[in-house]
Amino acid sequence: MSAHLPILQVVVPLLAAPLCLFLKRGRVAWGLAVLASWAALAIALALLGQVMQEGVLSYAIGDWLPPIGIEYRVDIVNAWVLVIVSGIGAVVSPYAMTSVEREVEAERIPLFYAAYLLCLCGLLGITITGDVFNVFVFLEISSLSAYALIALGRHRRALTSAFRYLIMGSVGATFIVIGIGLLYVMTGSLNMADLAQLLPEVWDSRTVKVAYGFLTVGFCLKLALFPLHLWLPNAYTFAPSAVTAFMASTATKVAVYMLLRFFLTIFGAPFSFDVMALDRVLLPLALVAIASMSLVAIFQVNVKRLLAYSSVAQIGYMILGVSFATVTGLTATLLHLFNHALMKGALFMAMGCVMYRIGSVHISAMAGLGRRMPWTMAAFVAGGLSLVGVPLTVGFVSKWYLILGALERGWWPVAILVLLTSLLALVYIWRVVEAAYFRDFPGDEATREAPWTLLGPTWALVALNLYFGIDAGRTVGIARQAAEVLMAGISP
């Protein structure tokens, strides 16, 4: 049984998804989705434990040995990302019941859970596979279900944002497939470990460099790096709350993982940083993303859109860590993958609670809500403090390692910029806090606290924010180990 964990990781949600379609009642489909996502989390945790004890796991699908067959390869890097993705999936799925019943039409609820599980399956598949074409297949599984999930939003603009995401996402995926094709032309292999061995011989060829270029643009579209982020703000704003919480904490993180896996494991750090100068390409983009998107976030009136722009800025922090081209920088990136998933998950789930009670997430509509919905707004404040990077929250740990990485390279202006943009985060979080706590509540006297089915998962994430902010030893240890694996390249 434990030998087959890598394939079960993908197959459990993949098989549960069509079953949801046959279940006519929303609650039953929800139960199945919760079971499947919890099973996925249990498998991911078991895999992480196994990898930490025994090293790299290789699973040959259908006993077709790599490099001919498709290999699932789990090392500390993707075991870590698997835990992030399945963990968020496991927290959001119980939350989805109440939230989705309010925001999605009843007859579409089983379809919602089918798409949700497919999206989870796709994201887990991208992460676990050791075959580059398999990455593309899972990428499309997750993206297509994501378009459908976003289009389920109440507002009609959910449809146009899903359409825009579909166009930009498909272009990104096609660029990735062109890159993979060119790699195949040069090496005749699709297996990641095999490609890593074969590529150094053909480094000089222009085809490999062109493949690198196509892959860079494709990944940057998928991970919404400035200026390729245009699909993200509207998609996050108009999607149902549960979808936003799930997507914001997983989809872009998996795209960052893809970038790391392709550019550091397959091409190798020497090729990426010395030949292609990836660090010098990413650094200015990351800095502009952080500064400009934090500023744009300050002027938003819709809190979901505010958090979406903040997400683009936070992706900038992750890419900034990559551009340091050091183990400390990558540690910061991998830590922020986990930490940002925790904080943005909590923040978007708190917004889902607000949406459930007052039907709007405009700052003006949230006046005085701190007294009406104390637990919801307290969760928002805790998540917000984490986003700013206040000590004792996970945000502080990420910022600490980012600044450490910047100072290690001697880039003190970058370190100062990280500190200054944290203050910008404080400004946009404060605008919401100011409205919620320092203004009078004009609305309906009957407005009550959100139900515990929504608050429970939200506070579970808030608790994790605080726990891993205080006891960061374990997460930092894993992230550092993963960063060392990435920098060292694949072991022959």
**How is residue 70 annotated by DSSP?**
-
3-class DSSP assignment, residue 268: coil
Minimum CB distance to other proteins smaller for 207 or for 491: 207
Query: Binders of other proteins among 366-405, rule CB under 8 A?
Result: none
Query: What tokens were used for 296?
Result: 């744009």
Which of 152, 119, 6 has its CA nearest to residue 72? 6
- Binding of residue 273 to other proteins (CB under 8 A): no
Task: List the beta strands (DSSP E) in 192-295.
Answer: none
If one counts every other C-beta atom within 10 angstroms of the C-beta of residue 127, the result is: 30
Side-chain-side CA neighbours of 156 within 13 Å: the count stands at 0
- Binding of residue 159 to other proteins (CB under 8 A): yes
- Binding of residue 177 to other proteins (CB under 8 A): yes
What is the spatial distance between Cα 34 and Cα 38, in angstroms, rounded to a whole number? 6
- Binding of residue 61 to other proteins (CB under 8 A): no
Minimum CB distance to other proteins smaller for 122 or for 384: 122
Shortest distance, position 109 Cβ to other proteins, whole Å = 18
- As a residue count, the chain comes to 492
Query: Binders of other proteins among 126-145, rule CB under 8 A?
Result: 133, 136-137, 140, 144
Segment contacting other proteins (CB under 8 A): 171-179, 266-274, 438-446, 479-487?
171-179
Near other proteins by CB under 8 A: residue from 174, 197, 205, 453: 174
Near other proteins by CB under 8 A: residue from 25, 160, 280, 471: 160
- Binding of residue 65 to other proteins (CB under 8 A): no
**CB of 313 closer than 8 Å to CB of 293:** yes
What is the spatial distance between Cα 137 and Cα 129, in angstroms, rounded to a whole number? 11
Q: What does each C-alpha distance from 80 to 127, 163, 435, 480 come to in angstroms?
A: 10, 32, 38, 11
Phi and psi, residue 411, nearest 5°: -95, 65
Residue count, binding to other proteins (CB under 8 A): 25
**How is residue 154 annotated by DSSP?**
S
Minimum CB distance to other proteins smaller for 237 or for 465: 237
Query: Binders of other proteins among 178-237, rule CB under 8 A?
Result: 178, 181, 184-185, 190
For 346, residues 6+ apart whose C-beta sits below 8 A from its C-beta are: 379, 382, 383, 386, 458, 461, 462, 465
Segment contacting other proteins (CB under 8 A): 163-171, 251-259, 308-316, 339-347?
163-171
Minimum CB distance to other proteins smaller for 163 or for 437: 163
Near other proteins by CB under 8 A: residue from 52, 57, 163, 198: 163
Question: Could you list the residues that contact other proteins (CB under 8 A)?
Answer: 133, 136-137, 140, 144, 147-148, 151, 156-157, 159-160, 162-163, 166-167, 170-171, 174, 177-178, 181, 184-185, 190
